[in-house]
């Protein structure tokens, strides 16, 4: 009895340590970024573009938004449809090939993805540093992740719902659309948010593909580089001047804020979309 | 998908082809039995998953417009047999079968080009209520639309009719647009029944439909089942001997995947000759 009690306490302590190992670094990063960037917060930071080692981050934060928007347009449909295919048609040969390819792709280091896109599109296709090359690199990075999370979300739908659809004689596609997807939606949205967050935090593949620009993003998809926040963090933190450091920390703070907004948005969409599943219990 | 069966039903006619069948030897043992007019029957049915055979050579008939209870100890293959009757086992990996399952003389595994046609004709209610993540109205309407049961403008009216039919209208009539998961378990099961009835099945399979319900909801479902047999043939798996005694007309008794006895309920309760059946019915085994 006493021994059980000791084991119990020991496990609780281990859980506590694991929790601290996750929470403390997160808190440390957030505080560090907020403290270092606090001095430079001004409207000018958001409304002026970068020049030299100073200026604002207008070109960078708008560039990041453009990249994220285009990434969503490209990666979300491919990833979600691929995930549905993997979950619902897994017995087909195509699904095995797709799963293998997706797992391979997920293991490729981001800088390699960036370099391949650089060689093929930036150089051979002659796109030069461009928005589209950057978005392609990010899409290759995050699509396997979206597929995996969509597949997992669909596999978690209780089998008696799937059987309910079949037993009523509904087609497989109708069952997927009207029964499985509404239940899986929060999981799928969560996967999309994490994928966007991964894309937002990437630097290496973008340096090779999107380049960097001090001016505002244009509608031109190729032959025109674009600015983004991670580049500002990566470049200016290495410069000696205090001004450059402030810019880097400000960019990091903006990234954190975008991340919070992204999470908030997905929660909002999730609760609205799951209107008929709000009291659903597995 | 307007198939032959749908056409028959929407004209308000029963499909013409039903076939009287001979009295099985088992019935002969227990005295002269009523002639069975069957709608569903299995012939030499073997069912298994992977290397394991679950159902061994079952040939049995399920009388038309009656409630048949599938009885037997846990693991006797009742649910597997039930799920073979609407081809739902096909969704499980490793499923295999041999023999025939006939619905009105048509082999449901061979003579139907589309499995959806079989499942429309043979509806199913599950152990736990499983409403779809759509509004209450849509839960009933989805099958109506998928099988073109009524023209689109009449769907709302038909949903109302089905909800009245299962006695749920008073409770949900003013919240058709709400989530079904806010309803009680009993109400959810009635909604699932309304959804199943809406597509005009000829046979309904019930897999212990009241095992997760309270006594009052159970009684409502049982009353409905008794009333529904005028229109459909009902085949019900149950663990509950009292329930079988209350509502079944015919009993198919399984043990370890084999047919032990099939007979009219009254006959079986009064003078079964089989000691396994007797032990089970009298509660010495369960």
pLDDT band at A36 (very low <50, low <70, confident <90, very high): confident
Give me the torsion for CA of A189, A191, A194, A198, rounded to 10°.
-130
* Range A104-130 average pLDDT: 91
Which range scores top for mean pLDDT: A30-44, A48-62, A112-126?
Answer: A112-126
pLDDT at B30: 46
* Range A145-152 average pLDDT: 94
Sign, CA torsion B108/B110/B112/B116: positive
CA distance A275 to chain B (A): 7
Task: Flag whether B4 is in a domain.
Answer: no
Residue B206 contacts residue B148 (beta carbons within 8 Å): no
pLDDT at B11: 41
Residues B146, A169: C-beta atoms closer than 8 Å = yes
pLDDT at B45: 94
pLDDT at B85: 95
**Domain residue ranges in chain A:** 61-228
* Range A136-147 average pLDDT: 94
Q: Can you give the CATH number for the domain in which B124 is found? A: 3.40.50.300
pLDDT at B16: 40
pLDDT at A273: 66
Task: Flag whether B46 is in a domain.
Answer: yes
Chain B, nearest residue to A164 by Cα = B130
Query: How do residues B168-212 score in pLDDT, each as one tens digit?
Result: 999 998 999 999 999 998 999 999 999 999 999 999 999 998 988
Is B182 an 8 Å CB contact of chain A? Answer: yes
pLDDT at B84: 95
**Total of domains in chain B:** 1
- Give the C-alpha distances (Å, rounded to integers) separating A106 from A53, A110, A113, A144, A148: 35, 9, 10, 6, 10
Superfamily for A61-228?
Answer: MetI-like (1.10.3720.10)
Is B277 an 8 Å CB contact of chain A? Answer: no
Residues B132, A278: C-beta atoms closer than 8 Å = no
Task: Flag whether B10 is in a domain.
Answer: no
pLDDT at A213: 86
Q: What are phi and psi of A160, to 5 degrees?
A: -70, -20
Name residue B106's beta-bridge partners.
Answer: B103
Chain pair A-B, CB pairs under 8 angstroms:
85
Domain region containing B191: 17-281
CA A251/CA B118 separation, integer angstroms? 61
Across chain A, mean pLDDT equals 89
Interface confidence (ipTM) of the complex: 0.81
Is B244 an 8 Å CB contact of chain A? Answer: no
Dump the DSSP string for A186-232: HHHHHHHHHHHHHHHH--HHHHHHT---SS---S--SS-----HHHH
Q: Is the pLDDT of residue B18 over 70?
A: no
Q: Which residue is it, tokens 């012939």?
A: B43
* Range A25-51 average pLDDT: 86
Task: Flag whether B6 is in a domain.
Answer: no
Q: Is B86 exposed, middle or buried (0-12, 13-18, 19+ CB in 10 A)?
A: buried
pLDDT at B187: 92
Dump the DSSP string for B117-184: HHHHHEEEE-SS----SS-HHHHHHHHHHHTT-S-GGGHHHHHHHHHHHTT-HHHHTT-TTS-GGGS-
Task: Flag whether B37 is in a domain.
Answer: yes
CA distance A166 to chain B (A): 7
């Amino acid at each position: 009895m006493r021994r059980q009690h000791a084991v119990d306490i020991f496990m609780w302590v281990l859980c506590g340590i694991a929790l601290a190992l996750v929470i403390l670094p997160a808190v440390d990063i957030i505080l560090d970024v907020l403290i270092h960037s606090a001095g430079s917060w001004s409207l000018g930071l958001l409304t002026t573009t970068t020049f030299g080692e100073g200026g604002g981050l207008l070109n960078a934060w708008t560039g990041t938004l453009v990249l994220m928007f285009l990434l969503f347009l490209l990666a979300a449909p491919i990833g979600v449809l691929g995930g549905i295919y993997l979950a619902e048609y897994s017995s087909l040969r195509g699904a095995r090939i797709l799963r293998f390819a997706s797992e391979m792709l997920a293991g490729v280091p981001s800088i390699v993805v960036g370099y391949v896109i650089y060689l093929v599109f930036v150089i051979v296709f002659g796109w030069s540093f461009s928005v589209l090359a950057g978005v392609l690199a990010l899409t290759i990075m995050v699509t396997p992740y979206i597929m995996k999370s969509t597949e997992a979300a669909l596999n978690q739908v209780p089998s008696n719902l799937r059987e309910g659809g079949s037993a009523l004689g509904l087609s497989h596609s109708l069952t997927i659309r009207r029964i499985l997807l509404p239940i899986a939606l929060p999981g799928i949205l969560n996967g999309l948010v994490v994928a966007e967050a991964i894309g937002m935090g990437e630097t290496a593949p973008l340096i090779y593909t999107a380049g960097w620009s001090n001016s505002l993003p244009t509608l031109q998809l190729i032959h025109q580089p674009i600015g983004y926040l991670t580049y500002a963090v990566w470049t200016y933190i290495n410069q000696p001047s205090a001004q450059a450091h402030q810019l880097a920390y400000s960019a990091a703070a903006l990234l954190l804020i975008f991340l919070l907004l992204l999470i908030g948005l997905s929660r909002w969409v999730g609760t609205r979309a799951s209107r008929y599943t709000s009291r659903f219990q597995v | 998908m307007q198939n032959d069966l749908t056409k028959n039903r929407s004209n308000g006619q029963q499909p013409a082809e039903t076939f009287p069948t001979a009295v099985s030897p088992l019935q002969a043992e227990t005295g002269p039995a009523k002639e069975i007019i069957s709608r569903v029957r299995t012939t030499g049915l073997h069912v298994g998953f992977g290397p394991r055979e679950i159902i061994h050579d079952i040939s049995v008939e399920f009388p038309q417009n009656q409630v048949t209870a599938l009885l037997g100890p846990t693991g006797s293959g009742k649910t597997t047999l039930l799920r073979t009757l609407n081809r739902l086992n096909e969704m499980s990996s490793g499923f295999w079968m041999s023999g025939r399952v006939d619905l009105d003389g048509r082999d449901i595994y061979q003579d139907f080009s589309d499995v959806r046609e079989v499942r429309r004709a043979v509806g199913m209610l599950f152990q736990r209520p499983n409403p779809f993540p759509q509004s209450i109205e849509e839960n009933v309407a989805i099958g109506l639309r998928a099988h073109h049961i009524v023209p689109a403008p009449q769907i709302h009216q038909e949903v109302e009719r089905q909800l009245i039919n299962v006695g749920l209208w008073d409770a949900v009539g003013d919240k058709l647009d709400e989530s079904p998961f806010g309803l009680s378990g009993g109400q959810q099961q009635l909604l699932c029944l309304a959804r199943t009835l809406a597509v005009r099945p000829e046979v309904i399979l019930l897999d212990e439909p009241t095992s997760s319900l309270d006594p009052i909801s159970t009684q409502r479902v049982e009353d409905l089942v008794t009333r529904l047999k005028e229109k459909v043939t009902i085949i019900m798996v149950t663990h509950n001997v009292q329930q079988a005694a209350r509502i079944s007309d015919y009993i198919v008794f399984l043990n370890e995947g084999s047919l032990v006895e099939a007979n009219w309920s009254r006959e079986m309760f009064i003078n079964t000759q089989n000691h396994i059946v007797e032990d089970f019915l009298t509660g010495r085994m369960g």
